[in-house]
Structure 1
Amino acid sequence: MPNSAGEIERTGANEAEVDGQRTLFTVAVRDYPDSEEGFAEGIDDQLSVVREWWSPFRHIAAPELQSRHDVERFLEQENVRETTGEALVLFVTGHGMAGKSQSHFLQLPQTDELRKLATAVRTSDIVTAALDSHAENVLVIVNTCYAGGLQSELAALYKEIQKSRRTKCKLDVLATCEHDAPVQVLRFSTVLRGVWNRLRTNAGITTPHLSVATLMAEFENELRTDAAKAKHRLHRVIDGSGQTRTTPCIPNPGFRLVRELVGIPRQQVATPADDYWLDRATGRAQEHDSGWYFRGRERLNRRLAAFLQPSQARGVLLVTGVAGSGKSAVLARAVTLSDPLFRENPLYKAALDQAEPDTVPPEGSVTTAVLARHRMAADVVADILHGLQLTPESPGSAQDAVAVWSAQLGHHLRTVQGPVTIVVDGMDEALEPHRIIDDVLAPLSAFCTPLPAAPAVPGQRRGAHQPAALRLLVGVRSSMPVIQGAAPAEEEHGLLDALCSAFPTAVVERTDDPLSGDDIVAYVHALICGDGRHRNTALEAAQEVSKLVWPSFLDARLAGEQLRSSDDPAAVVKEPQWRRMLQDGTTGLLQRDLILVADEGLPSDVALALLRASAYALGAGVPWSTIWPTMAGPFLGRPLENPDEMIEKLLRSRLNGYLAHDHEDERRVYRPAHERLAEKLRDMNLDLLGRKEPV
């Protein structure tokens, strides 16, 4: 089901519909005449968590098992050896016995220990019934005493399975204890349920299925201590899928099905950009917020919409301004509103209904949109190629990938029909911004330069042999224009100058002109009234905020979120201490929220340590798992206690608005919502916990 924001459906394993192509068999023996107290309840608890984890599977449970005949009848009647489909999971639990012949036996209530061959069942017979079935992928989990002893026995029997099946199918067997260790029924179910919960929350794994190696690693993470790991870790008896390959036999309970808000040509390859564009286009401060708060900027929006009209087939438009002044929001609005898939989404129809028609780009007018943030030149040009649905050519050993792929891009533009529009944002946050300009974008100048009007030729069809056309939209930070002879900040203005030099005919639009103050008023007003409250005082508060934060839409967003949760926004903005805090910009707003979050059960120093760890993360962000707590420890000055609880509180608190999320290496990752905020968090000279009392 879609969440309140509408863009994500959490289908995790436990919510999907039962799939006939996937089967779960459970073979559980519980009613031993001499079982210790609690044994049967422990078996039932194991079955409960297994059923919950594998709930999308068709579940076939063995009936009450008393004798060897009962097990053989179950295998025969349920046709286990002939089972087909995508996935077969077999879970075996009960008491096990190690025979003198090195065979492992499943003990049954009627088993005579002196006649194992006649009255018990060789566990390998049950396991191989699944392995040698017709299912494409098989996972067997044996949770019995001495289960590790199956390894040598199964290694020999595994050779009897056809080689084609062994090589094409993923066949895996796990044992829950060593060859000389008894099973602890309650321990396994407790740990497995903990792993299930970890995968739903802090593991942050984004694939629909898991690998066996990942399951084992998360199992060990849940065991926590070395002593527990040595005693209770999972053991791989048959390895048929390797370390990295996922298997449909292990559904990921934390999988989130991301609904495609924009079409593939506008999605990032390396880092899924849907949330990036959406967050900035809506102006929302929280991921779960479905509101559309982006207001104002009508002149800029009209300029971008006009630039994307069919009549404007060539050109370069540079959107620039100081940090936090809304460059990405303007570009993101154009990207999202031009996308056919987004325009069809009823959840965001309000965005189109609220917009003036001449501020909405034509449908399909943006061909591809990529982010340069934390990217090398090769990454950016590869992303552009992927966005154009091209596969980057393989460079030779002595060739430079950027040169090869830039040439490929140029060849494509010379042969493609119709105008192409490329959006590149976050240029100032790239790892190689000047090389991106010089080696990736500058060679495209010939396709962007407006053509002189050609004289009419009698008999020539209009538009024949029309040269390739490219529209280039680039977002880049720059310092404020020179005022009263002041020198510009060279390090911030250099990239804009380099782009203007590469594209002499480029048009520059600024997001920090004086008129943007009115846009901030409209934006903050929409944020404060987002939940239907404060309509009488919101305008007065928004006007005061605009005076204090202009030209920063970032600070306006943070201030609007604080005022939205207050009882009287107009009264808050009149308080001298709050105004002083707001004049400190991002720093002051963060200081206030760090103090207030302590009332929500999250210590301020812990919250700051977690935020700082995310600011220092490389790539797209920091994964939760065990990495985020480990990174936060040095900033806190001590190991982070109850790390999962603390991170969960952070993500549920008012500080969630300071974070953006992304996906990298099949993990959900977190980072500061804006590079300016990340810079503040990385500045260890800033005393962000200096205020003693909240305003």
Structure 2
Amino acid sequence: MPATIGTMSGVGGGVELRDAFSADEEADVPPPRTLLTLAVLDYRDGDEEFTDGIREQLDVVTSWWSAEGPSTAFHQVPNPVLETRDDVEDFFRERGVRELGGQALVLFVTGHGLSGASRSHYLKLPGSVRNRKLATAVRTADVVAAALDSHAENVLVIVNACYAGQLAPELAALYADIGQQRRETCRLDVLVTCGHDRPVQVRRFPTLLRGALHRLRTNAGVTTPNLSVGDFMAEFERGLRRGPERDRHRLRQLVNSSSPLEPTPCIPNPGYRHDREGSGPGSAHGGGNTKDGYWLDRATGRTQDEDSGWYFRGRESLNRTLTTHLDGTRARGVLLVTGSAGSGKSAVLARAVVLSEPAYRNQPLCKAATEQVPAATVPPPGSVDAAVLARHQDASQVAAALLRALGETPAAPESAEDPVTCWSRQLVTHLRGRTGRVGVVLDGLDESEEADRIVTDVLGPLAEFCTARLPSQARGGRGETADPGEPGAPDGSGSESGGPGPAELSLLLGVRSSRPAAAAPADTCPDAQRGLLDLLRETFPGAGVERTDDEQSTTDIAEYVTALLGDRTDPRTAHEAAALVARQVWPSFIDARLAGEQLKGDADPVHTVRQPEWQQMLGLGVRGLLLRDLALVAEEGLPADVAHALLRAAAFAEGSGVPWSVIWPAMAQTLLGRPLENWDEMIEKLLGSRLNGYLTHDHQDERRVYRPTHESLTEVLRAGTLFDKGDGA
């Protein structure tokens, strides 16, 4: 079964106007999504400023609704030439607006608005006569109602005209005449740009809309393909100052039959990014979350999101052990991958996850990684059924994530029932109902919120499935046997022939631990720091333990740095420089990664590494490398203290990271201790600089969030002592 990965965790260009009912389309097949504009361009009064403003409105509206995404693009009907009331009625009749169906209909209405003595609102036309509004103008509510009472499943109308707030009572009355079933099953929304007695400034709406468009493409970080009405209104209003200006120009919602927080297909997200990782592990089953690229980042050792290289090398013995654990030839059902901070635990686990995913196996990136290594170090396709990241998650979140990754929906606990107990029991039931081997990877256990409880209450009950398979049960190779009576030994509940019985669980767990003294056994650690690893060994007495920070890993680090330096560096020079770096930073791959990034493009990396200041910097680890990178970005226009504050804000963020929007600037300003007007500009510089390699991104609450790439970096940033002891940047 292919891996299902679970973790807790742009855009429109030129405008293409298309006729929604062009001759080459079948008239009885409505377009899925349609944009109609009803804009009066020229009142023949010589007001060129007004005409230019209306054109600007149409430009930004059509640009927004040209945004690309996974859904069908909007059919954009050309704006009609409007002179008289007949032109409006002809447009609605010829385009079949009242009978228009499809997934979404958006109608944008703009022009001069008129207020009648009856408090009715009218759209003024060039041929309108002031004292004959009923005959020569168009009642705006009738235009809106035509869209609302169409057959489209979702409707959004935006009216940008003077005194549009007066539509409220008229629309309330007309809305009641819409069929009950339509009102209850369709999402119908109407927004206006001003109140009852307010005129509009013709260029104000496009200015605010263009500002919202820019924010959504840069710092808003909304990750859904479509926006909710609430998100749309909030981003629009972010361009307004508080006080009278906000009251004068904010959007008002006159009809609301949808949830303000639920994305609507009527509003495409112009900042939507389809992450290429989404087509990788787990995506075929819908239970995974690879959008943050966590597993691919860790497996490849890449330093930027869009990097297509695979840099991690070596680890042959360790990779062979993981492969035999997953392919059914290893007797023990639990393998603990442990080591000191930054020593590559997650890289080894992520490699197994990614290379076991059938969707990735034939892609060039993975083929390049597998064709140059022994076959015995590559996990079989589908050997990882579920992979979960426990970082910053509690026991209930980890249990629920495991269920989802295994294709189960977490059951609703009873009112007084502990969710952990409920979902742990569901996990056991699920595994008892499965046959054959099930591979599960859980990484970041030491970074979880309730590590001990995850071990005892979530993982502990799974011990019965971590059976040591007899040689005749092993698939594809020789197996070892556990001692009779050993927890996890065969109990007769399975079948040697692979017949019905509970699942055989191959559990891979990643957990940090201190490196033991040289004289101590390789699978132990000092008494003062034995907590979590000891608890795991007590829970799974037959577990194997593999460390990632033995002395042999120096060679692996050197190979990693050599790969990071790339083809632009002379191979002999690259190897020599990498060896020097590896000896200095061992056992930290994270330090090696940062050093390799700094040496990229260096004309003589060996000379650089031999410099006393560079040796001193490497001796400081992450702290020293970060200080140097801060100094380098300062030369490019990003002040070191500002960059440091932004990185610290990401380190202090709870959950999966910090969203850009208004939160990241606010946190960074507090940490910086002084005001700064151009935070968005500074964040753009940060993400476009070498410091982007210090961050990874994720999705939380439908927003893109940022956090440091590794816990060791988080610890350095949270300490707040980077510039102490005379250090400067």
Q: TM-score range by the shorter chain?
A: over 0.9
User: Quick one: distance in 1 between partners of 2:15 and 2:84?
Assistant: 36
**Contact kept in structure 1, 2:337 and 2:510, CA below 8 Å:** yes
**Given the alignment, which residue of 607, 623, 629 partners 1:587?**
623
* Partner in structure 1 of residue 57 of structure 2: 46
* Partner in structure 2 of residue 375 of structure 1: 393
User: Quick one: distance in 2 between partners of 1:465 and 1:493?
Assistant: 39
Letter of the structure 2 residue corresponding to residue 520 of structure 1:
I
**Given the alignment, which residue of 424, 427, 431 partners 1:409?**
427
**Given the alignment, which residue of 492, 496, 499 partners 2:536?**
499
What's the offset of the Cα at 1:22? 0.8
Segment of structure 1 superposing worse, 237-246 or 83-92: 237-246
**Given the alignment, which residue of 588, 591, 601 partners 1:555?**
591
User: Quick one: distance in 2 between partners of 1:140 and 1:300?
Assistant: 60
- Please list the CA deviations of residues 520-558 of structure 1 after superposition, one character each: whole Å capped at 9, or x if unmatched: 0000000011x5334342111101000100000000000
* Partner in structure 2 of residue 674 of structure 1: 710
User: Which protein, 1 or 2, shows the higher relative CO under an 8 Å CA cutoff with sep ≥ 6?
Assistant: 2
Matched residue of 2:87: which SS?
Answer: helix
Matched, 1:520 2:557: yes
Letter of the structure 1 residue corresponding to residue 533 of structure 2:
L
Matched, 1:442 2:495: no
- Please list the CA deviations of residues 173-229 of structure 1 after superposition, one character each: whole Å capped at 9, or x if unmatched: 100111111111111111101111111111111111111111000111122444432
Letter of the structure 1 residue corresponding to residue 514 of structure 2:
S
Distance 1:200 1:392, change over 3 A: same
Matched, 1:173 2:187: no
Distance 1:350 1:397, change over 3 A: same
* Partner in structure 2 of residue 475 of structure 1: 510
Segment of structure 1 superposing worse, 678-687 or 125-134: 678-687
Letter of the structure 2 residue corresponding to residue 431 of structure 1:
E
**Given the alignment, which residue of 207, 215, 225 partners 1:208?**
225
- Please list the CA deviations of residues 127-179 of structure 1 after superposition, one character each: whole Å capped at 9, or x if unmatched: 11111111111000001111111111111111110011111111111001111
Calculate percent identity across the aligned residue pairs.
57
User: Quick one: distance in 2 between partners of 1:326 and 1:233?
Assistant: 51
Letter of the structure 2 residue corresponding to residue 503 of structure 1:
F
User: Quick one: distance in 1 between partners of 2:285 and 2:337?
Assistant: 19
1:75-94 equivalences under 5 Å are 75-94=92-111
* Partner in structure 2 of residue 307 of structure 1: 325
* Partner in structure 1 of residue 45 of structure 2: 34
* Partner in structure 2 of residue 4 of structure 1: none
User: Quick one: distance in 1 between partners of 2:291 and 2:86?
Assistant: 57
User: Quick one: distance in 1 between partners of 2:321 and 2:302?
Assistant: 23
Segment of structure 1 superposing worse, 171-180 or 535-544: 535-544
**Contact kept in structure 2, 1:327 and 1:511, CA below 8 Å:** yes
Segment of structure 1 superposing worse, 311-320 or 405-414: 311-320
**Contact kept in structure 1, 2:295 and 2:354, CA below 8 Å:** yes
* Partner in structure 1 of residue 484 of structure 2: none
User: Quick one: distance in 1 between partners of 2:292 and 2:641?
Assistant: 32
Matched residue of 2:270: which SS?
Answer: coil
* Partner in structure 1 of residue 200 of structure 2: 183
* Partner in structure 2 of residue 151 of structure 1: 168
User: Quick one: distance in 2 between partners of 1:15 and 1:282?
Assistant: 39
Matched, 1:230 2:266: no
1:91-490 equivalences under 5 Å are 91-258=108-275, 259-264=278-283, 272=290, 275-312=293-330, 315-450=333-468, 462-464=497-499, 467-483=502-518, 488=525
**Contact kept in structure 1, 2:337 and 2:509, CA below 8 Å:** yes
Question: Size of the alignment, in residue pairs?
Answer: 679
User: Quick one: distance in 1 between partners of 2:17 and 2:81?
Assistant: 27
**Contact kept in structure 1, 2:158 and 2:190, CA below 8 Å:** yes
Distance 1:388 1:17, change over 3 A: farther
Matched residue of 2:414: which SS?
Answer: coil
Matched residue of 2:371: which SS?
Answer: helix
Matched residue of 1:38: which SS?
Answer: helix
CA RMSD of aligned residues (A): 2.3
Matched residue of 2:541: which SS?
Answer: coil
**Contact kept in structure 2, 1:615 and 1:672, CA below 8 Å:** yes
What's the offset of the Cα at 1:317? 0.6
* Partner in structure 2 of residue 654 of structure 1: 690
User: Quick one: distance in 2 between partners of 1:273 and 1:475?
Assistant: 21
Distance 1:620 1:491, change over 3 A: farther
Distance 1:480 1:159, change over 3 A: same
**Contact kept in structure 2, 1:597 and 1:654, CA below 8 Å:** yes
**Given the alignment, which residue of 632, 648, 669 partners 1:596?**
632
Distance 1:111 1:494, change over 3 A: same
* Partner in structure 1 of residue 32 of structure 2: 21
**Contact kept in structure 1, 2:17 and 2:76, CA below 8 Å:** no
Matched, 1:569 2:588: no
User: Quick one: distance in 1 between partners of 2:282 and 2:515?
Assistant: 35
User: Quick one: distance in 1 between partners of 2:17 and 2:328?
Assistant: 45
What's the offset of the Cα at 1:387? 0.7
Matched residue of 1:615: which SS?
Answer: helix
User: Quick one: distance in 1 between partners of 2:305 and 2:247?
Assistant: 40
User: Quick one: distance in 2 between partners of 1:313 and 1:41?
Assistant: 76
What's the offset of the Cα at 1:451? 5.0
Letter of the structure 2 residue corresponding to residue 261 of structure 1:
G
User: Quick one: distance in 2 between partners of 1:417 and 1:355?
Assistant: 31
Letter of the structure 2 residue corresponding to residue 158 of structure 1:
Y
Distance 1:341 1:491, change over 3 A: farther
What's the offset of the Cα at 1:639? 2.7
**Contact kept in structure 1, 2:334 and 2:466, CA below 8 Å:** yes
**Contact kept in structure 2, 1:67 and 1:110, CA below 8 Å:** yes
* Partner in structure 2 of residue 3 of structure 1: none
**Contact kept in structure 2, 1:424 and 1:474, CA below 8 Å:** yes
User: Quick one: distance in 1 between partners of 2:144 and 2:608?
Assistant: 68
User: Quick one: distance in 2 between partners of 1:478 and 1:461?
Assistant: 37
What's the offset of the Cα at 1:267? 7.7
Q: Which runs of 5+ in 1 are unaligned?
A: 1-9
Distance 1:308 1:230, change over 3 A: same
Letter of the structure 2 residue corresponding to residue 363 of structure 1:
P
What's the offset of the Cα at 1:640? 3.2
User: Quick one: distance in 2 between partners of 1:273 and 1:355?
Assistant: 28
Distance 1:551 1:266, change over 3 A: farther
Letter of the structure 2 residue corresponding to residue 198 of structure 1:
R
User: Quick one: distance in 2 between partners of 1:13 and 1:374?
Assistant: 38
User: Quick one: distance in 2 between partners of 1:141 and 1:25?
Assistant: 11
Matched residue of 2:281: which SS?
Answer: coil
* Partner in structure 1 of residue 700 of structure 2: 664
What's the offset of the Cα at 1:582? 0.8
* Partner in structure 1 of residue 3 of structure 2: none
Q: Which runs of 5+ in 2 are unaligned?
A: 1-9, 21-30, 67-72, 474-491
Letter of the structure 1 residue corresponding to residue 64 of structure 2:
W
**Contact kept in structure 2, 1:581 and 1:589, CA below 8 Å:** yes
**Contact kept in structure 1, 2:331 and 2:469, CA below 8 Å:** no
**Contact kept in structure 2, 1:381 and 1:406, CA below 8 Å:** yes
What's the offset of the Cα at 1:99? 0.7
Distance 1:104 1:463, change over 3 A: closer
Matched, 1:543 2:579: yes
**Contact kept in structure 1, 2:558 and 2:582, CA below 8 Å:** yes
Matched residue of 2:238: which SS?
Answer: helix
Letter of the structure 2 residue corresponding to residue 513 of structure 1:
D
